[in-house]
Structure 1
């Protein structure tokens, strides 16, 4: 349709010229829990990035470019990106475009691209796929499950395509890689240390108890501590 804005991220609260911490979700895009991190008086505010067209599934690189463009146009000059799972790869792609605006990157529950195996989940039936990714009950039991499953399959196929390419941005900013002990995507600290290949600055690896969705249970103080560490 004429005049329609291209799909992009919507960051809430909106970006301004102040330092910003932006959380980018992984598959499924759940971000509502971020609002609970921002009780009155807690600084800095942690912003959540939501894709503006949830059922459209763009490549990882396109999402990263869109987020970087949004940050650049906002005037924000001190940005920490926090990504969970595939959102960590989106942050990596956004970071390659941000230059001096980027102060640091926090990646949770995600191995570096060259150490992430291709995913077989795109081939699972709808309900099995929903169970595998720990979809919320209201999605598991809705008649819209096939449409959600279509989206998830598309995201996994795009993720695999990204992993098969040569995503080797090297950032001039520190990186914190966070693994969860019960998460197949991040339990191995040796693999997490390979995030060092993506930065000319320092890397710090942290392990927490829990599984892949541990991000939804982490205290906001922990997120702010990591963001403050990379910001310096």
Structure 2
């Protein structure tokens, strides 16, 4: 068998989550790749920076990549992390070989009514609201430990990061930059995603991605793909990386 390519995988988590959402995916991938899953600023254990725009998050990821001296890497972005990954990819950073998007926030403003945004802002710090959100955005059952992890990450999100994404980041429109994305893109979403439905990915994400990108559906999965379908996500990543390894690196 050919040797696995020496890509590093940089995983970017969803809003109100943390890097630890990727543990099961990393475990399913095995030891073939270096896997890095940082907490983004204002989430998990990371303090919020002075700026919380999509580009500020892309700056933070670029700094993370530079500090670790990554020479060939893949960005894997889930939900909010997907939009951040696309913003960074549009800069054509040296060493980036591809982008995998899991139920991403689209490059256009994320569809959400003002009422829903106001309700989400009021939900900050509420265990009851966090539990209700978990039920709404998942479709497959999760072990109790993973449910508690999702709730804990929600509740330890900083207020600044919480509000900034709802009021600004999710509303940012970076669609005009998408022709600058020159690396292959993998797009995955769950058929039962109630947070960012399949139809949104079809109309607000897929048309802006490089030619040849297709939308891969994970049947019966909701929005939290890394937790609900880690094996299927890992398999898709394995296949994507195999395809990337056959392509020349961009310089």
TM-score of the two chains, using structure 1 as the length reference: 0.73
Matched, 1:164 2:171: yes
Select which of 186, 201, 208 maps to 2:218: 208
Q: How does 1:132-151 map to 2 (within 5 A)?
A: 132-134=132-134, 136-137=147-148, 149=155, 151=157
Shift of 1:222: 2.7
Corresponding position of 1:14: none
CA distance in 1, matches of 2:170, 2:10: 24
Matched, 1:21 2:1: no
Q: Report the 3-state secondary structure (helix = DSSP H, G, I; strand = E; otherwise coil) of the residue aligned with 2:93.
A: helix
CA distance in 2, matches of 1:133, 1:227: 33
Matched, 1:187 2:197: yes
Corresponding position of 1:99: 93
Return 169-178 or 53-62, whichever deviates more. Answer: 53-62
Matched, 1:36 2:27: yes
Point out 4+ residue stretches in structure 1 off by more than 6 angstroms.
none
Select which of 49, 58, 64 maps to 1:64: 58
CA, structure 1 residues 178+186, in 2 after alignment: closer, same or farther (shift >3 Å)? farther
- Specify every segment of 5 or more residues in structure 1 that has no aligned partner in the other structure, as ranges: 1-17
Q: Which has the higher contact order (CA 8 A, sep 6+)?
A: 2
Corresponding position of 1:127: 127
Q: Report the 3-state secondary structure (helix = DSSP H, G, I; strand = E; otherwise coil) of the residue aligned with 2:230.
A: coil
CA distance in 1, matches of 2:169, 2:191: 25
CA distance in 2, matches of 1:96, 1:191: 19
Which structure's residues are more often strand, by fraction?
1
Corresponding position of 2:138: none
TM-score of the two chains, using structure 2 as the length reference: 0.68
CA, structure 1 residues 230+152, in 2 after alignment: closer, same or farther (shift >3 Å)? farther
Q: Report the 3-state secondary structure (helix = DSSP H, G, I; strand = E; otherwise coil) of the residue aligned with 1:173.
A: coil
Corresponding position of 1:15: none
The CA RMSD over aligned residues, in Å, is: 3.1
Matched, 1:222 2:236: yes
1:210-230 deviation per Cα after TM superposition (whole angstroms, max 9, x unaligned): 111222232122322234335
CA distance in 2, matches of 1:173, 1:208: 23
CA distance in 2, matches of 1:24, 1:61: 14
